[in-house]
Chains A and B, each alone.
Chain A
Amino acid sequence: MIKAREIKKSFLVSIWFMFLTFPIMVIRVNPIEKIVEWRWKNMLVVGIGSFLLSFVWRYMLKKKEAGEKRAETGESGKTFLIQRILEERRFYIPLVTGLTIIAVAFPFIFSMYQTSIMTTALMYIVLGLGLNIVVGLAGLLDLGYVAFYAVGAYSYALLNHHFGLGFWSVLPIGAVLGFIFGVLLGFPVLRLRGDYLAIVTLGFGEIIRLVLENWNEFSFGPSGIANIDRPGFFGIQFSLQAASIYLYFLMIGLVIFTIIVVNRLQNSRIGRAWIALREDETACQAMGIDKTRTKLRAFALGATWAGMVGVIFAAKTTFINPASFTFLESAMILSIVVLGGMGSILGVIIGALILILLPEYLRAFSDYRMLLFGAIMVIMMVFRPQGIIANIRRTYKFNE
């Protein structure tokens, strides 16, 4: 039953949005040729769209409020399907086996192009998991994550260009450099409160990009570095096809390694300290946890992963320039973490797959990609701040 009042409300919302989007959506001017283009159709779309969306919006808000009330009275305890599947061995083992078979067979069934897209998605999974340590576990909003990614990519590109170092010897160097940069940048800024930290990391990210763009002698400026070697395998040089398959399996390996490490970290002493710090800094300090050092560990570990993926990125594309490391890249990785669920490994994996693969396969959407990322971040924060798959909090039952 939709009451007349609801319709009136939505009607007003629709009028408001038509007014709001009027200059930007309807009129397009070309100041050079002095042409004004009127696009009245857009106004109609906005009007009808906002009319319908406002119903959905109000319904979701009501649902969320109802959910919050239930949680207050202690009636929660509804676990989600996916979490139940994960808990029961009966479902869990066949699922993992199935996934393994798909993962192994993927590059042999699908084309090289598909494999390459999948490799990119896997890279974002690792980046997401790395950022998840910083944002999800430790609760530090890092908006300059891409800076460490750039450090990794440039360390491989430059070492390869100047000294001819191979992929495998640079991979650990990239990781270590990521770690060092994480410590160097993290050390001065981690004393700051959450929102200041976000801005400073954003500033650092931009500084690194601007330096790479302007310091021509060091980084070859905006034209970037080309002809970076693909990864080798004990001196064997692959064909293009074999190389992309090789890279794919390399990424699969790295994803598994990352999942294991993050999973072990989460339940370790450090992981618990991070989560505690995220929840309440003051209480955490009172329990004897060194605030700065614990935060620094999260920051540096996250940066290590970014450095490592950066090396792989340079090896995959064989060409890098500063344009690959803009703020939007950081925002994209952040929206993966936010969509999937902060602190949840499975959530981040699903988030990365959705956000990277969907725009690739739905070509019509590719223009709207960043618009969607922004919208997803807002909508998720308003309606489901815990993400698609909420991290299960370990609860201890008290048995009398």
Chain B
Amino acid sequence: MEYFLELILGGLTRGSIYALIALGYTMVYGIIELINFAHGEIYMIGAFTALIFTSVLTLLGFNEIAVIVLASLAAVIYSSAYGYTVEKIAYKPLRHASRLSPLIGAIGMSIFLQNYVLLAQTSDFLPFPNLIPEFEFIKPYRHIISSAEIVILITTSTAMILLTFLIKFTRTGKAMRATAQDRNMAMLVGVNVNRVISITFVIGSALAALGGVLIASHVGQINFYIGFVAGIKAFTAAVLGGIGSIPGAVLGALVLGLTESFATGYVSSDYEDVFAFGLLVLILIFKPAGILGRVRHQKI
């Protein structure tokens, strides 16, 4: 029973990290109907920035709390800046091109960013410091849940509540929803569509960076390639929930996290990634619209 509980909590932690990344995919897809392949790389850059800043700040003699806060902040700021720049360079000039062009551009961007980090940093796995301290009150339950998992669950749910608030109740959120529904119509009523798209990339990237910092400190090591697998898994989550739908992405991510957790816990950990890819293939074949997605009928 305890093993079962451990797997559930592990799955939820995993899932909530996937959710942070999946939100970026789903938001971008909702607005410009593009699978932003480079999104996984933005997450990886977030993790790297956090690692670099933690090391430098620790050496400069900052105290622990300041290091955590400043490094996470730096990761979020830099990832957002990267997301913004990627959109301006690779996607904005292709707004009116055929569907295939931005997609290939996005894959190119992803390969470029991966190798940029590989060349500028290293190809080795770097140990990532454990940013999250061990809480006292968790000690008796240590075998079921770690304090890192608690922090991850709390942070991700806070981020998601804030995001929901932003989209539901602010002017920017309204503009984003309008742009997602009909870009031309939104333009006609005076929404600055380019700005909305930029904001979407920035928010998505910031969430991904947060996910990057959390998972890196949980797993304890990073390298330039982590973005690729994380990206595909987050995309799977987004598709599972119904791409374009924000609650769908969260739900899909949790389902994926639980599936992986149980599959590795009860079946075999060698095929961890195969389960995720297999799940993706199955959903796309049998229910391409996802759990919460609506079937879009093509109009001629």
Interface SS, B side: helix
Chain B residues near A24: list those with CB within 8 A.
45, 48-49, 52, 116-117, 120-121
Residue from the list A20, A378, A385 in contact with B112, Cβ < 8 A: A378
A77 close to chain B: CB less than 8 A = no
Chain B residues near A23: list those with CB within 8 A.
48-49, 52-53, 74, 78
- A135, A143, A374, A375: residue with the most chain B Cβ atoms closer than 10 Å: A374
Residue from the list B93, B100, B232, B270 in contact with A203, Cβ < 8 A: B232
**For chain B residues 114-161, which have a beta carbon within 8 Å of chain A?**
114-122, 126-129
Interface 0/1 of A128-145, CB less than 8 Å to B: 000000010001010100
Interface 0/1 of A26-46, CB less than 8 Å to B: 011101101010000010000
How many Å from the CB of B56 to the closest CB on chain A?
6
Chain A residues near B112: list those with CB within 8 A.
371, 374-375, 377-378
Bound-state CA distance A28–B103 (Å) is 32
**For chain A residues 136-172, which have a beta carbon within 8 Å of chain B?**
139, 141, 143
Bound-state CA distance A139–B82 (Å) is 30
How many Å from the CB of A43 to the closest CB on chain B?
11
A25 close to chain B: CB less than 8 A = yes
Contact between chains at A381 and B94 (CB < 8 Å): yes
B-binding segment of A119-127, A191-199, A258-266? A191-199
Bound-state CA distance A338–B103 (Å) is 12
Residue from the list A34, A143, A371, A382 in contact with B59, Cβ < 8 A: A34
A274 close to chain B: CB less than 8 A = no
Contact between chains at B107 and A331 (CB < 8 Å): yes
Contact between chains at B94 and A382 (CB < 8 Å): yes
Chain A residues near B89: list those with CB within 8 A.
378, 382
Bound-state CA distance A25–B45 (Å) is 12
Bound-state CA distance A31–B280 (Å) is 36
Contact between chains at B51 and A31 (CB < 8 Å): yes
Chain A residues near B82: list those with CB within 8 A.
20
Interface 0/1 of A203-238, CB less than 8 Å to B: 110110011001000000000000000000000000
Residue from the list A32, A141, A194 in contact with B127, Cβ < 8 A: A32
How many Å from the CB of B85 to the closest CB on chain A?
6
**For chain A residues 255-283, which have a beta carbon within 8 Å of chain B?**
282
Bound-state CA distance A25–B116 (Å) is 9
Contact between chains at A334 and B107 (CB < 8 Å): yes
Contact between chains at A210 and B232 (CB < 8 Å): no
A288 close to chain B: CB less than 8 A = no
A102 close to chain B: CB less than 8 A = no
Chain A residues near B127: list those with CB within 8 A.
31-32
Contact between chains at A34 and B108 (CB < 8 Å): no
A357 close to chain B: CB less than 8 A = no
B111 close to chain A: CB less than 8 A = yes
Contact between chains at A207 and B108 (CB < 8 Å): no
Bound-state CA distance A190–B3 (Å) is 41
- B59, B103, B111: residue with the most chain A Cβ atoms closer than 10 Å: B111
Contact between chains at B273 and A206 (CB < 8 Å): yes
Bound-state CA distance A192–B239 (Å) is 12
Contact between chains at A199 and B235 (CB < 8 Å): yes
Chain A residues near B94: list those with CB within 8 A.
381-382
A335 close to chain B: CB less than 8 A = yes
> Which residue of the partner chain A has the closest CB to B45?
A24
Bound-state CA distance A14–B1 (Å) is 58
Contact between chains at A199 and B51 (CB < 8 Å): no
Chain B residues near A385: list those with CB within 8 A.
97-98, 101
Chain A residues near B284: list those with CB within 8 A.
189, 192, 196, 199-200
Offer 27 A-B interface pairs, CB within 8 angstroms, sorted by A: A20-B81, A20-B85, A23-B53, A24-B52, A42-B120, A139-B100, A143-B107, A189-B281, A189-B284, A193-B288, A200-B281, A203-B280, A204-B277, A207-B278, A282-B300, A367-B119, A373-B111, A374-B108, A374-B111, A375-B108, A378-B105, A378-B109, A378-B112, A380-B108, A381-B104, A382-B94, A385-B101
Known: A141-B103, A371-B115, A377-B108. 14 other contacts (CB 8 A): A20-B85, A36-B59, A189-B281, A189-B284, A199-B35, A206-B277, A338-B104, A368-B115, A371-B112, A374-B112, A374-B115, A377-B107, A377-B112, A381-B108
Interface residues of A (CB under 8 A from B): 16, 19-21, 23-25, 27-29, 31-32, 34, 36, 42, 61, 135, 139, 141, 143, 188-189, 191-196, 198-200, 202-204, 206-207, 210-211, 214, 282, 327-328, 331, 334-335, 338, 367-368, 370-371, 373-378, 380-382, 385
Give me the 9 closest cross-chain CB pairs, A-B, nearest first: A377-B108, A374-B112, A374-B111, A381-B105, A203-B277, A29-B55, A371-B115, A378-B108, A370-B115
